[in-house]
Amino acid sequence: MSYTVERQKELNFDAAKPAYINKYVWGGVYRPAAYAKLVLVEGEGFALQMTCYEKQPLARYKEYNDPVWTDSCLEFFASFNNQSPLYCNLEMNSAGAFLMGIRESREKKRNAADIVKLPPVKCTKNGGFWRVEYKLRFDMLDALFGKVDYAPGYTFGGNFYKCGDETEIPHFGSWNPIGTEKPDFHRPEYFGELVVG
């Protein structure tokens, strides 16, 4: 699958096309509607907005680097530099707690906060949905992945996820399907194509 990352002069999520997180390849009856929007804001970086329709998302954790994937969680994984084996995993719950790692694999990882100053997650809860927003500044990405020219047509790998490992009904959804027997989001070989428009 591919997704066009719209290039904008000023941030406008309303104009961005959603990437629907609707591939539940491991089954399960609980499949909350969720989607992501990713845009490139010229001169600034990438802006991410993720939305999920849940009335009472589990949000036990409140601090950076807490195990938010066990709560109701929205996640974005991406390998921004095609010349590097690295990818990042950004995982967020509805309380604004998040973690971000830089990895070659599930096991080979570093805490992104040890390398760069990370911006906070902006959270919104409104009745039947919750939303998180996050900015990935160019200077931050350069420090984590090396310098990249995100010119129109540049393609990199990524995936968007919805999960809740320890929620009342555990669930594991993705935008691009994953071909593993058990849930495993740390599989860059199953990333979809993200194309800068």
Q: Which structural domains are found in the chain, ordered by start?
A: 2-196 (2.60.40.1190)
Cα 158–chain centre separation: 8
Query: Tokens representing 176?
Result: 């691009």
pLDDT, tens digit, 9 for 90 and up, residues 73-88: 999 999 999 999 999 9
pTM to 2 decimal places: 0.98
Handedness of CA 126, 129, 130, 133 (dihedral sign): negative
pLDDT, tens digit, 9 for 90 and up, residues 118-153: 999 999 999 899 999 999 999 999 999 999 999 999
**pLDDT of the residue at 127:** 87
- CB count within 10 Å of CB 13 equals 17
